[in-house]
Amino acid sequence: WYSPATIAVMVRVIRQHCLGPEGGLACAFVSTPSLFFTLQQNERGSSRVLDCDRALATPEEGLVYYDFNEPENLPQDLKGAFHSVVIDPPFITRDVWEKYAQTARWLLRPKGGLVIATTVTENAPMMQDLLGVHPNRFLPSIPHLPYQYAIYTNFHAPELAGVNTEIPMDPDELLAQIQTGASKAETRANESPVKGAGNKYDFEAMIEAAIRDSGGE
């Protein structure tokens, strides 16, 4: 899934921020087995990986069966037990992310915790809404994937402030586009529908407004 270089950076972030000496369970790896198994065996002892592969789901290895369609159908001793979560769902749609966000809130300690998540850059406004996370400058490399992912966090991670040389695009330009798109979406959400005579919706005026927003003639 992720390139080896991207995995190395993400694991450094996890080691630096998510596996601290706070006691209890450190990190829940939700649908991210590749990151979990990159850790040393002694590091995995304070974490769990939640995955839909029943062949992997053996408690002896810190593995827990997880079906995102049942976001809270998990062992009760995991509720509110984790300092952090790392999430990468198999789908990028909002309905799926809502279920993963529900799982994250269920797993994290009552006062909240650290969140690392990956999804497409276009999901930035949704990710802020669901989990309070923001995209970072370091863009993950996922070979053969036709669209670009970002790494989202709800904390400052200096390790993610650099540029991934595997990615040809300018991360600053991409992040600026994300911010511009989010601002336009918020403006549209706050606008009242354009109405004409008789208080009916004026769809031609609405189309003209959309063209103006896109910079068209």
pLDDT digits (tens, 9 = 90+) for 64-97: 999 999 999 999 999 999 999 999 999 999 999 9
Confidence of residue 50 (pLDDT cuts 50, 70, 90): very high
Give backbone dihedrals phi and psi of 83, rounded to 5 degrees, phi first: -80, -25
pLDDT > 70 fraction of the chain, expressed in percent and rounded: 77
Q: Which residue has the higher pLDDT, 58 or 153?
A: 153
Asked if the model's pLDDT at residue 40 lies above 70, the reply is yes
For range 111-125, the mean pLDDT: 94
Q: What is the mean pLDDT of residues 161-179?
A: 90
Q: Residue 69: how many CA atoms within 13 Å on its side-chain side?
A: 1
Which pLDDT score, from 0 to 100, does residue 62 have?
82
Q: Name which residue leads in pLDDT, 85 or 144.
A: 85
124-135: pLDDT as tens digits = 999 999 999 999
Q: What's the farthest any 2 CA atoms get from each other in the chain?
A: 71
Element (H, E) at 151: strand 149-153
Average pLDDT over residues 96-120: 96
Q: Report pLDDT for 42.
A: 85
pTM of the model: 0.81
CA angle 51, 59, 72 (to 5 degrees): 50
Element (H, E) at 205: helix 203-213
